[in-house]
């Protein structure tokens, strides 16, 4: 059975984006060779990338560009070539290389994807997707990077979750730039 992991960056006050949807704060961390090596090695892994439409549009607008290739060559190559799934009721077609568009019920589609053979899947951003799948216990692991910044208000990845989801911390790692990686698995 394929695993589904969430990898998201959040502020100390728990937001993945500010009140206008901007996430640029996540890319303004203090320079840190260890953090840079971590992000490059994270991108070198395999898997299927899973997005909602908003995150898909954001990623598609950057990673296929010459600027992305020049600034982040390893990450750009992986982002552009890995298999991708985008959930959207409004997109007519997915034009980014190696992307499958799914317009059906997200919960049913992910249950089906998890049963199929293939690489594990990872969700980036996509708060509405995370909250919907979390409520149905379809997420196997949460990798959350906490950035040392407070926004005061914004968007969480768990907006709309009705029942508490208990987690256990499996690992953690602190970086010199102040970022902290926390890995959690649901306990029930």
> How does pLDDT run across 157-179, given as a tens digit for each residue?
999 899 999 999 999 999 999 99
Give residue 43's pLDDT: 62
Give me the percent of the chain exceeding a pLDDT of 70: 97
| Phi, psi at 131, each rounded to 5° | -65, -40
CA distances from 130 to 51, 62, 149 (A): 10, 22, 22
Say whether pLDDT at 140 is over 80. Answer: yes
Q: What is the dihedral of CA 110, 165, 156, 138, to 10 degrees?
A: -10
Range of the domain at 65: 4-157
Residue 178 lies in a domain: no
54 assigned to some structural domain:
yes
CATH number of the domain to which 106 belongs: 3.40.430.10
The reported pLDDT for the residue numbered 28 is 75
Model pLDDT, residue 64 = 96
- Identify whether 175 is part of a domain: no
Residue 125 lies in a domain: yes
Q: Which pLDDT does position 26 carry in this prediction? A: 82
> Do the beta carbons of residue 30 and residue 145 sit within 8 Å?
no
pLDDT digits over 82-119, tens only? 999 999 999 999 999 999 999 989 999 999 999 999 99
Q: Is residue 51 part of a domain?
A: yes
Using one digit for the tens of pLDDT, what is the confidence trace for 141-152?
Answer: 999 999 999 999
Domain count, the chain: 1
Is residue 167 in a domain?
no
């Amino acid at each position: 059975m394929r695993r589904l992991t969430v990898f998201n960056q959040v502020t100390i006050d728990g937001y993945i984006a500010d009140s206008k949807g901007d996430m640029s704060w996540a890319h303004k961390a203090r320079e840190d060779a260890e953090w840079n090596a971590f992000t490059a090695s994270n991108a070198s892994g395999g898997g299927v990338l899973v997005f909602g439409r908003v995150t898909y549009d954001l990623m598609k607008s950057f990673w296929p560009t010459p600027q992305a290739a020049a600034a982040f060559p390893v990450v750009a190559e992986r982002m552009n070539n890995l298999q991708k799934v985008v959930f959207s009721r409004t997109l007519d077609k997915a034009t980014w290389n190696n992307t499958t568009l799914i317009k059906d019920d997200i919960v049913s589609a992910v249950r089906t994807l998890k049963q199929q053979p293939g690489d594990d899947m990872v969700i980036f951003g996509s708060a509405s997707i995370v909250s919907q799948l979390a409520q149905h216990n379809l997420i196997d692991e949460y990798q959350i990077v906490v950035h040392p910044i407070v926004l005061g208000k914004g968007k969480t990845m768990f907006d709309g979750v009705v029942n508490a989801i208990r987690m256990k911390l499996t690992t953690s790692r602190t970086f010199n730039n102040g970022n902290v990686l926390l890995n959690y698995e649901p306990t029930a």
